[in-house]
Structure 1
Amino acid sequence: MKLWLCLFALGATALAQVPRSNHVWVITEENHSYESVIGNPSMPYYNALAKKYALSTQYYSPMHNSLAALMWLVAGQMVTADNNTTTCWNVDNVVRHLRAQGLTWKSYQRDLPYPGFQGLFSGDYVRRHNPIIDFTDSCAASQVMNSVPFTQLATDIRNHSTPNYAYVTPNLDEDAHDGSLPEADDWLAQNLPQILALPEFKPGGDGLMFIVWDEADLATDNRCSSQIKSGCGGRIATLVIGPQVKPHYKSSTLYSHANLLRTVCDSMVFSSCPGAGTIAAPMADFFNTVNIITPKPDAAVTSPVRVQATTVNLCRRQAEVSGKRGQPECFSSAGRRQASTGGAILGHGRGNS
């Protein structure tokens, strides 16, 4: 049995153009569907950003299981769904391309105990929400210290030493995995202004930020599109922020994590893109046509592309009544319920995904 994932490469955007950026930020949130966050009065800061900048209204996560879904953002494929992994995978990923370009990167992680920490969890930090460190490129001795506590960000801003590419993860409470949506909104409101005040996010700058949810609500939302109601990770909201982004824009083009990765690859002018990013179309409709580059020819796909992935066991969190530390339920990719036995796919005790 195979799990079929849709990579949306529509002709309308495949020939469009993405502005160049040397300052890309990817910020991830957890486990909430589009309808839970857009228009939610308990998230005033988030929704103000959605109105001021740009919102993807038809963006769908490729699958459930946080680590598996997040891998698509940095590798363009489901590298692993094992939440207990500490393996450094020799798989193409965004760090490999950054290093090839001579560009810098950092992963800013809330509650990471110290730079280069390789453990599964510490406090409210969990490794499964920090997928960028799971590759031979980022595990290398010269690179491992680029995974740093979030507190390092203030120092880097003060020293004018922020990286070309930054991957940012709040902790389990602040990313809405275990905490509330108001907590997530408060964290964004307290911490994003210092990033958006950087010169690259001023008019004429090249700053580019994505705020993306890993997956939708685990219990109820398995949509792949507005027509396909099951088999994927559900409908999620994705914000695109920056001076070169169309203001007050809403995109109704069908997108997923591979499209976001492709947009990063094109904006940073990589010679190629990891995994399914090679064939996915960039999210080019979000941008004004200034300081443009031409996407690679292999993006010119005029119909949806389906990529075959190996079947995995996907664990879905039980209803909230079981408590946030409750044992998750596990499903196969075909949707059959399995016993949750605490095997390798289950991670840190505060939920699975």
Structure 2
Amino acid sequence: MLTSATFAALSLAASAQAAAIAQSFAPPATSPTTETKNYTGASNSTLSNGPVVKGAAFDRFIQIWLENTDYATAASSPTFQNLTSRGMLMESYYGVTHPSEPNYAAAAGGDFFGMAGDAFYAFPKNASTIVDLLEAKNVSWASYQENMPYDGFTGFNYTEPNYLTGNGSYAYYVRKHNPTILFDSVASVPERALRHRNFNDFAADVNADTIPQWSFITPNLVNDAHDTTIDFTSAWLEYFLYPLLENPNFNTNRTLILLTFDETETYTVNNNIYTIALGGAVPTELIGTTDSTYYTHYSSLSTVEANWQLGSLGRQDTNKTVSNVYSFVANATGYKNNDLTSSSTDLPLTNITGTIPGPANSAYWTPILAPNVSAVGAGGGPVHLDASVDKSLTSYTPQNLTALGVANPESTDPGYNYAAGTLSMVSSTAAASSAATGTTGAIAAASASASGKTSAAVSQASIAKGLVALAAMALGLVL
């Protein structure tokens, strides 16, 4: 696992990178539908999708996530004001925790599994995702990641020449903003991993009219406001989203586009993020209006489940307190939301970090617990269960892996590699040496170093409840 010194070094590097960027937007390509050498990967041909599966309120759902911005800051932007007038403002939309990565994990897996940092995480195959639910109903999907070097890339980040300044290099792409690749149930399956595509692929897919029915779009670290400002990301939206809203290959009368942020910049407020519903699927009478219903990132799961009558993950996507379905979709499907709104005084706290047990929290570690198999989600379908799920594992006494000197198994790179367009497995050492920037290597090396302590640590603490499971995880077994 990463040491505090490594974390400090990475934080300093990130701060230096952010400080080095001029606060002036430059388009990475001549248009969002043209390829560019600023993205290292050439187009890998267009996607192949099955027949369109009709939804109750929309046939295509596109999420575009931006970064770390307070509600009032986004509301002050003329660009966001313009986009709001063209869609429906969701004024009571909330991130689910801090920092960034757990919010992305939650939007794919229905939980952030105790995650309280932005390190390398790879969740085992018994953690299901939205991909399982979509594929069960033959709903096509893809993830589009700006500046990802090649399809299916599983590395921690990627550094390339700085196209903004023309000098030096910059880590534009980060794994932590690519939600579905965090899960081995996706990353280990070539047909799934290769549906993670860069923006040259995106351009090809728009031009060929092959954008799938569910898409997650992540701009790079400058265009999403992570390393820049609201003005910078506003300029990117004018370059990227404005023309796509007029492109029928992207935005049809059955397309719902969600423009949102992962979290607020200020941690002391309750994570209220500026969110707009756009696209032809937004009912005409709702254009220019404000929806006060309480939503969170789990609502993007429950809304999709309701729209296509999918199953559920049996996690927070079925927690009715935090998973309201978008109001016009709830109306179309007959789903009953709770009564929480922007004026409610009892909204859940969603700015708490570091205190939730789970497999991504080394201080309160548990294995992946079984989902609620009896839960009924907004789509009415069954809870998806991988064959490896132990349905009896519904509770576990958290263990402090840091105190035990044990590496968190979810922080070890499994070694899935798609550089050649097919799956190959590489060792932790090889994964470290081939990582684009060496950051993945630092994690793998730290994990490999810690693994030498695992047997002794487990032996010394074997009387503690639950360490049989911990030992199994340390040996690479999936619980």
TM-score (norm 1): 0.71
Among candidates 171, 176, 179, match of residue 131 of structure 1:
179
Distance in 2 between the 1:149 and 1:348 partners?
A: 21
Paired residues for 1:259-274 under 5 Å: 259-273=299-313
2:110 corresponds to: 76
What residue in structure 2 maps to residue 122 of structure 1?
A: 158
Q: Residue 100 and residue 254 in structure 1: after superposition, are their counterparts in 2 closer, same or farther (change >3 A)?
A: same
Return the match for 1:282 from 324, 332, 343.
324
User: What is the one-letter code of the residue matched to 2:289?
Assistant: Y
Native 8 Å contact 1:75 1:94 kept in 2: yes
> Could you tell me which of 239, 250, 258 is aligned with 1:210?
258
Letter in 1 for 2:153: F
Deviation at 1:284, TM superposition (A): 3.3
**1:92 and 1:274 in contact (8 A); partners too:** no
- In structure 1, what is the Cα distance between the partners aligned to 2:303 and 2:257? 11
Amino acid at match of 1:215: E
Q: Is the 8 A contact 2:157 2:173 kept in 1?
A: yes
Letter in 2 for 1:206: R
Cα displacement (A) at 1:105: 1.2
Cα distance change on mapping 1:288 and 1:129 into 2, 3 Å: closer
| Aligned partner of residue 309 in structure 2, secondary structure | coil
Could you state the TM-score of these two structures normalised by the residue count of structure 2? 0.54
CA separation in 1, counterparts of 2:326 and 2:289? 12
Distance between the aligned counterparts of 2:155 and 2:86, measured in 1?
A: 38
Q: Does 2:248 match 1:198?
A: yes
- For residue 68 of structure 2, what is the amino acid of its counterpart? N
Q: Indicate which of 248, 256, 276 corresponds to 2:296.
A: 256
The higher relative CO (CA closer than 8 Å, separation ≥ 6) is in 1
Deviation at 1:195, TM superposition (A): 3.4
Q: Could you say if the C-alpha distance between residues 193 and 273 of structure 1 is closer, same or farther in structure 2, counting changes exceeding 3 Å? A: farther
Q: Please state how far the C-alpha of 1:167 moved relative to its aligned partner.
A: 0.4
Residue 113 of structure 1: aligned partner: 149
Q: Equivalents in 1 of 2:59, 2:317: separation in Å?
A: 19
Q: Please give the residue correspondences for 1:41-56 in structure 2 after superposition, counting only pairs within 5 Å.
A: 44-56=78-90
* Alignment-derived partner of residue 334 in structure 1: none
Distance 1:274 1:85 in 2: 25
Aligned to 1:335: none
Q: What pairs with 1:23-172 in structure 2 (closer than 5 Å)?
A: 23-40=60-77, 44-79=78-113, 80-81=115-116, 83-90=118-125, 91-123=127-159, 124-139=172-187, 140-172=189-221
Distance 1:244 1:270 in 2: 19
Instruction: Report the alpha carbon displacement of residue 102 of structure 1 after superposing the two structures with TM.
Output: 1.1
Give a deviation string over 1:201-245, Cα, whole Å, max 9, x none. Answer: 34xx2101111111001xx34333xxxxxxxxx221111112232
Deviations, residues 232-265 of structure 1 (Å, cap 9, x unaligned): xx22111111223220111222221112321122
- The runs of 5 or more residues in structure 1 that have no matched partner are 1-17, 225-233, 315-342
Q: CA deviation at 1:120?
A: 0.5
Equivalent residue pairs, number: 282
Distance, in Å, in 2 between the alignment partners of 1:274 and 1:73 is 13
Unaligned runs of 5+ in 2: 1-54, 160-171, 341-345, 350-354, 364-406, 412-437, 441-479
Moved more, 77-86 or 49-58: 77-86
Q: What amino acid is the match of 2:357?
A: T
How far 1:293 moved relative to its partner?
Answer: 2.4
C-alpha separation in 2, matches of 1:159 and 1:86: 34
Shift of 1:277: 1.1
Per-residue Cα deviation, 1:81-102 (whole angstroms, up to 9, x for no partner):
4533252433121111111111
Offset of residue 66 of structure 1: 0.6
1:147 and 1:134 map into 2 onto residues whose CA distance is 12
CA contact 1:68–1:78 (8 Å) conserved in 2: yes
